[in-house]
């Protein structure tokens, strides 16, 4: 039983990581209607920036704040400079561009910071909470930050005009334009926010998995799975989905299929959800109008 | 190809005019009175790009050699190509190097799968595949592959050495294994299991209670460590690459699991593993070493360390000094330079192989004191001994004597 | 998109001449003294193999509008099918190719069913996950007896029939060329048939197509199957020419290479597939020389990594040549003829 609980707790921690990443994916999806394959690598890159600042002597929270700002500006710039010309391009062109960004960020990070792992400081102590190895303060911190981000995002989308405008821009650009929404800027704003969320996710993840240029590759796959399970258009669902995938992955890995097929398990989740419940467990089904 | 031919001809003509001193050398393709052309494949991009540091270290070493006047008056022309860790690409590039660029031999191509893909070809073409950068045990097989030679101690033997140490020091061992799911992990665990099975009379047939694997794409190994602890094991054999080694050591400490820990040499770095994992969590961990850990202040005053440091500062300054690739890269490049020096003016492929296979107590800088390279026509394992060491305070402390392959 | 060439009556003289030239290339070996001729033949094999893989992918992406980032999986399946049949079944190498095609066709059909419900980004996502999961699957211990696990399967390079008096590499070039000609011909005819027009209609106006009575599901799954089958043949050929299969050969990077080849050569263009195949081989080799050049020219402290160059190249293509090199040629030619016509009218 203790083993089960421990696996469950470990699953929650990885779940929180996936949830963070999933939140960034949802952010881009909600505000631009795209699935960003470079989300993980952008987060990784931002985390390296934070590491460089801390390494240069800045206090943790200053570096944290600066990184979030820089990431926001970076995401914004990526949309304005790189993706703007492709706004009306077919999906394939976008997918190709995301893959291109993924390659570039990964390769450049490796070039600058090398592939040796780096230690990333955590604002939370890794002290045990109850003294039985079940939950550490750090694990709790990650979960907490994820939930706070979720709360802020939900509030932003639900209660602010800007949030509404962003959703409108993504879902029906033409009508939104007629209503006076500056669609193109909304998209850039969405990218900025997603990059900022990604940066926070990266900085939460790095103390646990250690910082290296390939840190996010595996996480991204599970993040996708989480976002899909919860419904990719729904922040709340994505976070729940992230946790579900994290816990399931650990339990299924420990009890059922063994550790060798975990990625296959992620693949099955992705395809299974897309097939059986394309809108996710918590998503609304969108009827396509003809 | 015409370009190359012309260049070869021109450079040949130039030497005839300028340096008649070393006339009369015997040459295979790739060697001349002025130049020795060496090829290499290396993963500078792709999943294994971390290992690219090896190739950069080799190139930096040869730059130094060339600035100092080359080897017996000949400059090294080192062509290191990016295979992205993909075996089909390795085949293509090896053929390019051998057939188009006409290198004298391939030096330290990296990766078990990549070297496996070209081994047959290299031996058919009779081009040396020298000091391959992988610890698989299959590279020392001169009877079948007389043109292929390894360099580092192989993983199987290392695994056997740990098994012996466990038998000697742990009463009723119950062993848990964490293994990376690749050929490195397979070799390490294969040798280890074989030896443990041989000891079944003294430690029982079921000494290994659990073996958990992970993929390099897995975010963490937390779940696996919990499984290992839950098995009730009192020995932890940690067969991982640096990132996961650090995660595993840290997680084991966090959940209060305190087995006797054995960490494979691949991850035996103070800077890249122990410090990130927390030195307080790493006390007592045992490993087998053959090179000096440069992140270990213990070696700061050694003469070869100072030389290495000077080389790093001057020729390899963009590299991360805590990466062990810079040390192995330096040492293996030194080895090949020695082999070429001893070839004298007979730079044929046969002679390169002959010299490589007749090293006698060769001392190589940055190897641990007492470790010397020995090869013969039937022994293609240059480094065969290691020393066990354990973490004490902030560095590794060597203990016990040299442990060698034959003894294991 | 450029479908004009597909509307032509038959195979053009240019393309027949082109294939004949390709078929004559190995004969240079009989007069060439170059010691690296066999190496160039080997590069030719790789180019043809990649061209076939890109052809498979193009059928799906270019002509049917379904995005796949997972074709490395079908390439791997084809390669392992060929390797296992040769190694355990003792099959002759050429006989493994049709089996590889059939196995991959079946796998493609199976994957095509879920793909049916997925559009655009979602399909990209599902196939992305497939590409990531494949190397792990290949290593799975339950099938390691067949796949060789992490060690892979080593094969013998086939010898040419004696009467041909060709070197093994010349011979294998012909094997690849024959497969390429056959598959290009099949796809060419398929696209000009009623079914082919239906495929493209599904891409361009799926809703209109379905009201016209085209069974969307059927065409999409079959397109997936054929696409996977073609890529599988490329995988089988790769196993034969490289004489080794191992999990590290079939990563997401391979899928990305296919995609790069496709985009560079030209979406929905058959000649573009060949351009793409050549490009993949050449650029992978020359990314490093570009990197060396940049390092030397701009006095950089670091090596510019190949994948960053790949990425930048992809982005530039998306901006300036979205129809790829072949598409660019077609545009240039149209512009030229239009100009000529306008000139005459005046």
Q: What is the pLDDT of residues B207-218, one digit of tens each?
A: 999 999 998 888
Contacts by B295-298 with C-beta closer than 8 Å and gap 24+? B295/B269, B295/B270, B295/B271, B295/B322, B296/B270, B296/B394, B296/B395, B296/B396, B297/B394, B297/B395, B298/B395, B298/B396
In Å, how far are A87, A142, A216, B12, B343 from A146, measured between CA atoms?
31, 6, 17, 68, 64
Interchain contact, C251 vs B87, CB within 8 Å = no
Interchain contact, B243 vs A119, CB within 8 Å = no
Number of domains in chain B: 2
Q: In this complex, is the C-beta atom of A250 within 8 Å of any C-beta atom belonging to chain B?
A: yes
Is residue B237 located within the same domain as residue B274? yes
Number of domains in chain C: 1
Break chain A into its structural domains and give their ranges: 16-215
Which of A30, A92, A273 has the most C C-beta neighbours within 10 Å, making it the best mutation to test the interface with C?
A: A92
Q: In this complex, is the C-beta atom of A107 within 8 Å of any C-beta atom belonging to chain C?
A: yes
Which of B50, B213, B223 has the most A C-beta neighbours within 10 Å, making it the best mutation to test the interface with A?
A: B223
DSSP annotation of B191: H
- Chain B residues in contact with A219 (beta carbon < 8 A): 219
d(CA A255, CA B237): 22
Q: pLDDT at position B202, please? A: 86
- H-type helices in B71-141, by residue range? 87-95, 112-125
C6 belongs to a structural domain = no
| Residue ranges making up the domain that contains B16 | 2-152+302-377
d(CA A281, CA B2): 65
Cβ pair B110, B54 in contact under 8 A: yes
Q: Is pLDDT above 50 for C62?
A: yes
Is residue B75 located within the same domain as residue B207? no
| Residue ranges making up the domain that contains C74 | 13-345
Q: In this complex, is the C-beta atom of B209 within 8 Å of any C-beta atom belonging to chain A?
A: no
- Chain A residues in contact with C73 (beta carbon < 8 A): none
Is residue B185 located within the same domain as residue B330? no
- H-type helices in B96-241, by residue range? 112-125, 155-169, 183-198, 200-203, 222-230
Closest CA to C116 of C211, C213, C265, C223: C223
Q: pLDDT at position C8, please? A: 52
C341 belongs to a structural domain = yes
Q: How confident is the model at residue C72 (pLDDT cuts 50, 70, 90)?
A: very high
| Average predicted confidence (pLDDT) for chain B | 88
Q: In this complex, is the C-beta atom of A183 within 8 Å of any C-beta atom belonging to chain C?
A: no
Gap from A16 CA to chain B (nearest CA, Å): 12
- For residues C36 and C83, the model is more confident at C83
d(CA C30, CA C23): 14
State pTM to two decimals: 0.88
B59 belongs to a structural domain = yes
Average pLDDT over every residue of C114-134: 82
Is residue B133 located within the same domain as residue B171? no
- Chain A residues in contact with C250 (beta carbon < 8 A): none
Complete DSSP assignment for C58-79: HHHHHHH----S-HHHHHHHHH
Q: How confident is the model at residue B12 (pLDDT cuts 50, 70, 90)?
A: very low
Tell me how crowded residue B328 is: count the other CB atoms within 10 A of its CB: 22
Interchain contact, B218 vs A218, CB within 8 Å = yes
Gap from A115 CA to chain C (nearest CA, Å): 13
d(CA B228, CA B232): 7
Q: pLDDT at position B59, please? A: 94
Q: pLDDT at position B24, please? A: 67
C79 belongs to a structural domain = yes
Q: In this complex, is the C-beta atom of A222 within 8 Å of any C-beta atom belonging to chain B?
A: yes
Q: In this complex, is the C-beta atom of B227 within 8 Å of any C-beta atom belonging to chain A?
A: yes
Interchain contact, B44 vs C150, CB within 8 Å = no
Q: Strands B208-214, B175-180: parallel, antiparallel or unpaired by DSSP?
A: parallel
Average pLDDT over every residue of C205-214: 80
Q: How confident is the model at residue B6 (pLDDT cuts 50, 70, 90)?
A: very low
Give residue-wise pLDDT tens across range B294-341: 877 788 899 999 999 999 999 998 887 878 889 999 999 999 999 999
Question: What residue ranges in C66-214 does DSSP mark as E strands?
Answer: 153-154
Q: Which residues pair with B176 in a beta bridge?
A: B210, B236
Interchain contact, A219 vs B242, CB within 8 Å = no
Is residue B181 located within the same domain as residue B193? yes
Interchain contact, B220 vs A14, CB within 8 Å = yes
Give residue-wise pLDDT tens across range B43-82: 887 777 778 889 999 999 999 999 999 999 999 999 999 8
Gap from A109 CA to chain B (nearest CA, Å): 12
B382 belongs to a structural domain = no
Instruction: List subunits contacting chain A, requiring 3 or more Cβ pairs under 8 Å.
Output: B, C
Interchain contact, A278 vs C122, CB within 8 Å = yes
Phi, psi values for residue A88, rounded to 5°: -105, 10
Residue bearing tokens 């195979």? C11
> Which stretches of chain A score pLDDT less than 50?
289-290
> Using CB atoms, which residue from B219, B254, B323 is nearest to A116?
B323
Cβ pair C305, A110 in contact under 8 A: yes
- Tell me, what CATH number does C263's domain have? 1.10.3470
B97 belongs to a structural domain = yes
Q: In this complex, is the C-beta atom of C209 within 8 Å of any C-beta atom belonging to chain B?
A: no
Give residue-wise pLDDT tens across range C6-19: 445 556 777 888 88
Cβ pair B163, B180 in contact under 8 A: no
Q: In this complex, is the C-beta atom of C53 within 8 Å of any C-beta atom belonging to chain B?
A: no
Q: pLDDT at position A67, please? A: 96
CB-side neighbour CA atoms (13 Å) of B209: 16
B297 belongs to a structural domain = no
d(CA B400, CA B404): 12
- Tell me, what CATH number does B395's domain have? 3.40.50.2300
Contacts of C342 (CB under 8 A, 6+ apart): none
> Using CB atoms, which residue from B100, B116, B120 is nearest to C39?
B100
Residue of chain A whose Cα is closest to the Cα of B274: A119
Is residue B355 located within the same domain as residue B398? no
Q: In this complex, is the C-beta atom of B253 within 8 Å of any C-beta atom belonging to chain A?
A: no
- Chain B residues in contact with A109 (beta carbon < 8 A): none
Cβ pair A221, B217 in contact under 8 A: yes
Number of CB pairs < 8 Å for B and C? 106
Q: pLDDT at position C10, please? A: 57
Residue of chain C whose Cα is closest to the Cα of B112: C151
Q: pLDDT at position B334, please? A: 97
Which of A22, A111, A227 has the most C C-beta neighbours within 10 Å, making it the best mutation to test the interface with C?
A: A111
> Using CB atoms, which residue from C129, C207, C322 is nearest to A224?
C129
B295 belongs to a structural domain = no
Cβ pair B249, B224 in contact under 8 A: no
Tell me how crowded residue C106 is: count the other CB atoms within 10 A of its CB: 15
Closest CA to B73 of B5, B30, B26, B20: B20
Q: Which residues pair with B106 in a beta bridge?
A: B39, B129
DSSP annotation of B298: G
Average pLDDT over every residue of C120-124: 79
Interchain contact, A91 vs C120, CB within 8 Å = yes
Q: In this complex, is the C-beta atom of B256 within 8 Å of any C-beta atom belonging to chain A?
A: yes
Give residue-wise pLDDT tens across range B115-162: 999 999 999 999 999 999 998 888 989 999 999 999 999 999 899 999
Report the share of chain C in percent with pLDDT over 70. 94
Is residue B249 located within the same domain as residue B394? yes
B294 belongs to a structural domain = no
Gap from B79 CA to chain C (nearest CA, Å): 11
Q: pLDDT at position B190, please? A: 93
Is residue B194 located within the same domain as residue B64? no
């Amino acid at each position: 039983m203790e083993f089960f609980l421990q696996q469950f707790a470990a699953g929650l921690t990885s779940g929180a990581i996936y949830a963070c990443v999933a939140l960034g994916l949802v952010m881009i999806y909600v505000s631009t209607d795209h699935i960003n394959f470079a989300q993980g690598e952008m987060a990784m890159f931002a985390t390296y920036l934070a590491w460089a600042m801390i390494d240069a002597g800045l206090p943790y929270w200053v570096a944290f704040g600066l990184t979030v700002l820089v990431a926001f500006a970076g995401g914004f710039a990526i949309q304005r400079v790189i993706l703007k010309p492709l706004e009306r391009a077919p999906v394939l062109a976008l997918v190709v561009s995301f893959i291109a960004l993924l390659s570039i960020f990964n390769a450049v990070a490796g070039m600058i910071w090398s592939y040796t792992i780096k230690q990333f400081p955590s604002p939370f102590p890794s002290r045990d909470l109850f003294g039985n190895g079940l939950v550490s303060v750090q694990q709790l911190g990650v979960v907490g930050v994820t939930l706070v981000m979720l709360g802020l995002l939900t509030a932003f989308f639900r209660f602010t005009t800007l949030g509404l405008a962003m959703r409108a821009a993504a879902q029906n650009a033409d009508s939104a334009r007629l209503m006076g929404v500056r669609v193109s800027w909304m998209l850039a704003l969405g990218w900025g926010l997603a990059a900022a969320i990604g940066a926070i996710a990266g900085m939460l993840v790095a103390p646990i998995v250690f910082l290296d240029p390939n840190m996010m590759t595996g996480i991204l796959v599970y993040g996708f799975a989480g976002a899909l399970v919860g419904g990719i258009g729904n922040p709340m669902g994505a976070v729940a989905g992230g946790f579900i995938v994290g816990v399931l992955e650990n339990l299924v890995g420990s009890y059922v299929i063994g550790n060798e097929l975990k990625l296959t398990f992620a693949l099955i989740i992705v395809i299974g959800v897309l097939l059986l419940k394309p809108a996710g467990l918590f998503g609304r089904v969108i009827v396509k109008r003809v | 190809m015409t370009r190359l031919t012309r260049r070869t001809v021109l450079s040949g003509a130039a030497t005839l005019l300028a340096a008649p001193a070393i006339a009369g050398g015997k040459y295979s393709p790739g060697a001349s009175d002025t130049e020795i052309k060496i090829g290499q494949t290396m993963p500078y991009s792709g999943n294994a790009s971390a290992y690219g540091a090896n190739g950069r270290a080799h190139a930096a070493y040869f730059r130094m050699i060339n600035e100092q006047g080359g080897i017996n008056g000949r400059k090294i022309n080192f062509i290191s190509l990016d295979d992205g860790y993909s075996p089909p690409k390795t085949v293509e590039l090896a053929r390019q190097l051998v057939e188009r660029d006409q290198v004298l031999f391939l030096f330290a191509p990296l990766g078990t799968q990549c070297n496996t893909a070209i081994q047959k070809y290299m031996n058919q073409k009779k081009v040396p595949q020298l000091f391959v950068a992988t610890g698989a045990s299959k590279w020392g097989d001169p009877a079948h592959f007389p043109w292929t030679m390894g360099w580092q101690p192989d993983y199987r033997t290392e695994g056997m050495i740990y098994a012996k140490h466990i038998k000697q020091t742990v009463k009723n061992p119950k062993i848990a294994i964490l293994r990376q799911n690749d050929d490195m992990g397979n070799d390490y665990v294969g040798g280890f299991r074989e030896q443990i099975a041989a000891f079944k009379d003294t430690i029982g047939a079921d000494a290994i209670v659990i073996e958990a694997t992970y993929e390099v794409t897995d975010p963490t190994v937390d779940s696996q460590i919990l499984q290992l602890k839950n098995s009730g094991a009192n020995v932890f054999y940690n067969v991982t690459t640096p990132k996961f080694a650090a995660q595993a050591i840290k997680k084991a400490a966090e959940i209060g699991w305190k087995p006797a820990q054995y960490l494979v040499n691949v991850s035996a770095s103070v800077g890249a593993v122990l410090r990130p994992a927390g030195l307080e969590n790493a006390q007592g961990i045992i490993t087998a070493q053959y090179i000096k850990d440069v992140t270990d202040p213990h070696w700061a005053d050694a003469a070869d360390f100072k030389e290495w440091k000077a080389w790093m500062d001057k020729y390899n300054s963009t590299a991360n000094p805590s990466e062990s690739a810079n040390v192995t890269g330096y040492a293996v490049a030194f080895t090949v330079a020695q082999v070429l020096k001893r070839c004298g003016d007979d730079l044929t492929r046969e002679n390169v192989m002959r010299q490589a296979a007749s090293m006698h107590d060769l001392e190589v800088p940055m190897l641990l004191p007492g470790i010397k390279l020995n090869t013969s026509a039937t022994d293609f394992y240059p480094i065969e001994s290691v020393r066990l060491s354990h973490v004490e305070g902030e560095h590794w402390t060597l203990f016990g004597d040299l442990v060698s392959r034959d003894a294991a | 998109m450029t479908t004009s060439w597909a509307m032509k009556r038959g195979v053009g003289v240019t393309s027949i001449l082109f294939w004949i030239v390709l078929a004559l290339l190995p004969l240079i070996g009989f007069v060439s003294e170059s010691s690296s001729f066999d190496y160039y033949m080997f590069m030719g094999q790789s180019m043809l193999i990649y061209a076939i893989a890109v052809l498979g992918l193009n059928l799906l992406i270019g002509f049917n509008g379904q995005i796949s980032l997972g074709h490395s999986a079908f390439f791997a399946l084809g390669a392992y099918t060929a390797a296992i049949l040769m190694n355990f079944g003792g099959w002759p190498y050429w006989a493994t190719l049709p089996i590889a095609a059939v196995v991959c066709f079946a796998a493609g059909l199976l994957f095509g069913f879920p793909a049916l419900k997925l559009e655009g980004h979602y399909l990209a996502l599902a196939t992305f996950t497939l590409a990531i999961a494949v190397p792990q699957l290949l290593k799975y211990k339950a099938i390691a007896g067949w796949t060789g696990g992490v060690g892979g399967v080593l094969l013998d390079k086939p010898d040419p029939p004696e009467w041909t008096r060709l070197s093994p590499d010349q011979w294998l070039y012909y094997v690849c060329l024959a497969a390429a000609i056959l598959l290009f011909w099949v796809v060419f005819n398929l696209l000009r048939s009623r079914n082919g027009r239906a495929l493209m209609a599904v891409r361009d106006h799926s809703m209109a197509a379905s009201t016209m009575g085209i069974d969307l599901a059927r065409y999409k799954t079959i397109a997936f199957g054929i696409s996977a089958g073609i890529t599988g043949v490329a995988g089988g050929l790769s196993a034969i020419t490289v004489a080794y299969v191992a999990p590290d050969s079939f990563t997401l990077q391979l899928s990305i290479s296919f995609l790069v080849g496709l985009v560079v050569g030209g979406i929905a263009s058959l000649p573009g597939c060949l351009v793409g195949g050549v490009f993949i081989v050449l650029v992978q080799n020359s990314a490093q020389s570009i990197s060396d050049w940049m390092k030397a020219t701009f006095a950089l402290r670091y090596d510019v990594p190949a994948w960053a160059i790949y990425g930048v190249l992809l982005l530039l293509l998306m901006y300036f040549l979205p129809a790829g090199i072949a598409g660019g040629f077609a545009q240039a030619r149209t512009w030229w003829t239009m100009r000529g016509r306008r000139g005459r009218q005046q």
